[in-house]
Amino acid sequence: MKKRKFWFFCLLIIAVSLIVLGLFDGEFKTVWQKASTICLECIGIG
């Protein structure tokens, strides 16, 4: 059980680190713009 918790926390730390790295790199803005464009195209506004 301890081994499972260890790997869970390792993966959690890696995931959070990659999310923070993406935020500092500006990827959030790019993803948000693409998502907005797709949504507006589906609705028929864009």
Can you give the residue ranges of every domain in the chain? 2-43
Q: Which two tokens stand for residue 3?
A: 């081994």
Say which residue the tokens 């959690």 belong to: 12
Query: Which pLDDT score is estimated for 12?
Result: 97
What is the per-residue burial (b if ≥16 Cβ within 10 Å, else e) of 12-26?
Answer: eeeeeeeeeeeeeee
Q: What is the pLDDT of residues 1-45, one digit of tens each?
A: 889 999 999 999 999 999 999 889 988 888 889 888 888 888 777
Q: What is the pLDDT of residue 46?
A: 55
